Amino acid sequence: MIHATHLDAQNLPNRWQTIDGQPRLIIGMYEQVADDALLADLAAAGFNLVNTRDDPARLDQLHRHGLRGWVNLGGDLALPPPGADTEKAAALTARVNRVKDHPALLVWEAPDEPLWNVWYRRLNEYWAVLEALKKRIEKLEGDARAELQVLMDRSDELHRRGYLDEADELLAEVWKKIGEDSPQNPPKWTDVKRRAVEYGDELTRGFELVKKLDPDGIRWINHAPRNSIAALRHYNRAVEMAGCDIYPVPMRPPSGHSDLVDQSLSSVGAYTRRMAAGAPGKSVAMVLQGFAWKDIGQGHEGGEKRPTYRQTRFMAYDAMMSGAAAVLWFGTAYIPKDCDLWRDILATARELRALEPAWTAPPLEGAVQGRAEETWGSDDGEGPALMLRRVDDDHVLIAHNATRFGLVFEVSGLPAALEGRRLLRLDSDDERVVADGAFSDGIRSYDTQVYATSRRFEAQAR
């Protein structure tokens, strides 16, 4: 049995993208790297996708290193209804045609976090109006201030209960009583809902045109870790790949990057599953944390902490074991290239790439099971999530523990081909022998252990 908070990784449809006729794991870098030495490091570590511009010279550089590029089309992708603005379609066509035939071009990306940004812009306008009102009321005294504060409190209560337009109407009444105009005139929240739908339609029209111009290009949207599954599906209609960015370090106190109840490292896997639900039949691409919040100028408490190697590795496996077909790192442009985090990202990429034959192999018939011994944690005996694959005459088993506590567990239901064989725990001197289709081991909290019948799946030493 698999833990209730996990999917059964044994039979997950990771939905790999095909590159040069082969199903491939995509490992990507958001940083627009222009230094040849760094590009060589990325290629050697197993990266195969790097952010770039629609510039043939930059794509030539990637091609020399055996790398592929992705281009963000930004606002040019959003097309109005047919006939409303032919110049926009012409501009998008020109951008795509400029590099679509370049051998290094692989992915076309939508504007970053497009759905969430429709709502986030409106939230920023709300906060600006609210802050301006608070400062204005602070200058009043006596009954006038008390009367307006009552209205402000009513507005806040309505906003917290989800009556957003009604809350704004009270704020407008406060401005009227003060005798001043609001510094902003934001749209109604009902209009924002409508705009969110319209923008999804515009991006879909744009991607449909991109598909006609470049049938082999991968179309991708990176969302924020927000929004409803129904709304995500509306935006993902014309893509081959969709996902979100999720940056949970530090866990305590949480960075607030997600609105899921789970704010821990395992929120990566939770959002991977949510993105899969929001993009049925599509590949899921997850953007992982390559920075500390302080590196990008944000003042979260504990924000000077960069992810450790164990955290970096776990988050990548959490995405993969939850169904991701691509992992990409954001934020490395803000960290020095001689720091631990940069080296840890490269090491994690090497490990994932060494396992690519196993990741992309088809599921085996029958289900292996994991059962954990009783422990002090809130665990009902479910073991770590498991994935077993066969590659030629070898087998690879991945055990992934997304809980806050270590587990002693037994794996059973292993195929007869493994009976009596040694399973090497990669990157260690440990091994287990399969007896009666089973073996047992222990695993740390937030950790992944990889077992194989051969060290051919082991990455080069870090």
What is the pTM (predicted TM-score) of this model?
0.93
Rounded distance between C-alpha atoms, residue 170 and residue 316, angstroms: 46
In this predicted structure, the answer to whether residue 7 has a pLDDT above a threshold of 50 is no
Which carries the bigger pLDDT value, residue 286 or residue 262? 286
pLDDT of 382 reads 82
Mean per-residue pLDDT, 392-396? 96
Mean per-residue pLDDT, 449-460? 94
Confidence of residue 169 (pLDDT cuts 50, 70, 90): very high
Extents of the domains making up the chain: 9-115+192-359, 119-184, 369-454
In this predicted structure, the answer to whether residue 94 has a pLDDT above a threshold of 50 is yes
Contact 220, 142 (CB under 8 A): no
Distances (CA, A) of 318 to 7, 156, 372: 11, 38, 19
Task: Return the ∠ at Cα 271 (arms to 265 and 272), rounded to 5°.
Answer: 100
pLDDT of 462 reads 45
What is the percent of the chain with per-residue pLDDT over 90, rounded to a whole number? 83
In this predicted structure, the answer to whether residue 12 has a pLDDT above a threshold of 70 is no
pLDDT, tens digit, 9 for 90 and up, residues 80-89: 998 777 799 9
User: For residue 417, what are its two tokens?
Assistant: 């081909």
Contact 409, 442 (CB under 8 A): yes
In this predicted structure, the answer to whether residue 14 has a pLDDT above a threshold of 90 is no
pLDDT, tens digit, 9 for 90 and up, residues 174-229: 999 998 888 878 899 999 999 999 999 999 999 999 999 999 999 999 999 999 99
- CA-based Rg of the chain, rounded to a whole angstrom? 25
**CATH homologous superfamily for the domain 9-115+192-359:** Glycosidases (3.20.20.80)
pLDDT of 183 reads 80
Rounded distance between C-alpha atoms, residue 342 and residue 391, angstroms: 31
**CATH homologous superfamily for the domain 369-454:** Golgi alpha-mannosidase II (2.60.40.1180)
pLDDT of 10 reads 52
